[in-house]
Amino acid sequence: MGLARALRALGHETRVLAPCDGPPPDAGVTPLGASIPTASNGSMAPIAPDLSCALRTIRALRDEDFDIVHLQEPLCPGPTLTTLLFSDRPKIGTFHRSGRSSAYLALRPMVRAVNRRLDMRCAVSRDARATAEAALGGGEYETVFNGIEVERYTKAEPWPTDGPTIFFIGRHEERKGLEVLLAAFEQLPDEVHLWVAGEGPQTAALEARTADDRRIHWLGRVSDAEAASRLRGADAFCAPSLHGESFGVVLLEAMAAQTPIVASDLPGYRNVARPDTDAVLVPPGDPDALAAALRRVLTDAVLAADLVASGDARAAAFSMDRLAERYVQLYERLL
C-alpha cells in the first residue's frame, strides 16, 4: 500500500489487489476475499488460496486491464499465483522469503515451470535472492530493497513514557525472540519499562509468566499510528529475532522514528543496519548479551545520539519514494 501511494504521487494509476479481512483500508485497494492463517517460515502467513478468491482475482485483472502487474511473493498460493497463471499482462515478481522452503522443494518441477511465466524477477535482499535461485533455478534477478514511508515516523507524536522504555513489536512466536527479550529484561534496572505490542501463539504463556512484573506492558495489536507513536516515544527499540528475517523493515521504521536500536545480528538485519553505527547487534538467542546491549543504549547518551543520527540518514536512503522511482525504471524497461 505504501508503494502504491508513492507510485500515485509520481503520477501512475495504481491499485492493490489483495485478500482483505474486513473493509478495504483505503480506496486504492480491491478486496479479493478473506484470508486463511497458514504456517510458513516459522510464522503464520495470511493467504487466500480458495476458488472464490481466484475468481475475484481473474475478474479484477480483466476489468482493470493493467499495463503492468507486480506480484509480491509470486508463487504464494492465492492472488499472486492465480495472476501468474491467468494474466497475459507483463509481470514483475518480487521475492521476499529468506530460508529453506519445503513447499518449493517438494514441488520444484511445478514451481520452476510457473516461475518462467514471470517477465522480470526481483528480490529484496541477497538472502531472498539466494532462496529464490536455489528453489526456482536460474534467471536474472534485480536486487531491489524494501522501503518505508519515512514521514509516517518522523512526524509521529512521541508516546509519553514513565521512565526509560524499550519497545518490541511483532508476532509472539519463537522466531521473533520475545522470550529471549523477556529473559534479558529481568536483568535490567527497576526503573526500565517494556512495551510489548502484537500477539501470537506465545502471548498467553509469556504474559502469565511475567504477570508479577509491573514494568512490562502488554499492548496487544496496535494500529499503525500507535506503533509509529510508540516508536518515537521509546528510548530503545528491540528486535531480538532468532532467524528467518530477509530484510529489516522494522529496523528502518525505528531509524526513521529516531529511536536507538538493539537487534539480533542476522544477515537480514545487516542488510540495513551496520553494527555499532546504525544499531547495536548481538548474537541471536543470548539474553545476557541482549541485556548488556540494552543497558548500554539506555545509559550511554552519546552512543544513543550517534545511533539516531546515523539511523536517520540510513532510513532516508531506504525511503518509499526512492523505491517507487526504482520500480518505475524497471516497469519502463519491461514495457
Query: Cell 501511494, residue?
Result: 5
Give residue 106's pLDDT: 60
Architecture per CATH, domain 2-147+319-334, reads as 3-Layer(aba) Sandwich (3.40)
Burial pattern 172-181, b for ≥16 Cβ within 10 A else e, equals: bbbbbbbbbb
pLDDT for 105 beyond 80: no
CA atoms within 13 A on the CB side of 180: 26
**Separation between Cα atoms, residue 237 and residue 218, nearest integer Å:** 15
pLDDT tens across 169-205, in order?
A: 999 999 999 999 999 999 999 999 999 999 999 999 9
> What is the DSSP-derived secondary structure letter of residue 176?
G
pLDDT band for 263, please (50, 70, 90 cuts): very high
pLDDT tens across 116-142, in order?
A: 899 999 999 888 888 888 888 767 899
Mean pLDDT value of segment 82-96: 93
pLDDT for 111 beyond 90: no
In the chain, residues under CATH classification 3.40.50.2000 are 2-147+319-334, 150-317
3-state secondary structure (DSSP) of residue 182: helix
Q: Which residues are within 8 A (CB) of 143 and not within 5 positions of it... i.e. 6 or more apart?
A: 122, 123, 124, 125, 126, 129
The pTM (predicted TM-score) of the whole model is 0.83
Q: Is 326 exposed, middle or buried (0-12, 13-18, 19+ CB in 10 A)?
A: middle
Beta strands in the chain (DSSP E): 16-18, 29-31, 36-40, 43-47, 69-72, 91-95, 120-123, 142-143, 165-169, 193-197, 216-220, 236-239, 261-264, 280-282
**Separation between Cα atoms, residue 269 and residue 275, nearest integer Å:** 10
Give residue 103's pLDDT: 61
Which contiguous run of DSSP H or E holds residue 272?
Answer: none
Mean pLDDT value of segment 301-320: 96
Mean pLDDT value of segment 5-21: 95
Chain mean pLDDT for the chain? 92
- Distance, CA of 291 to chain centre: 24
**Separation between Cα atoms, residue 56 and residue 244, nearest integer Å:** 32
Determine the Cα angle at 144 with ends 320 and 11, to 5°: 45
What is 150-317's CATH number?
3.40.50.2000
Strands 216-220 and 236-239: unpaired
**Separation between Cα atoms, residue 288 and residue 310, nearest integer Å:** 26
> What is the DSSP-derived secondary structure letter of residue 174?
G
3-state secondary structure (DSSP) of residue 170: coil
pLDDT for 335 beyond 70: yes
The answer to whether 92 touches 330, Cβ cutoff 8 Å, is yes
The answer to whether 114 touches 143, Cβ cutoff 8 Å, is no
Cell numbers standing for residue 29: 485497494
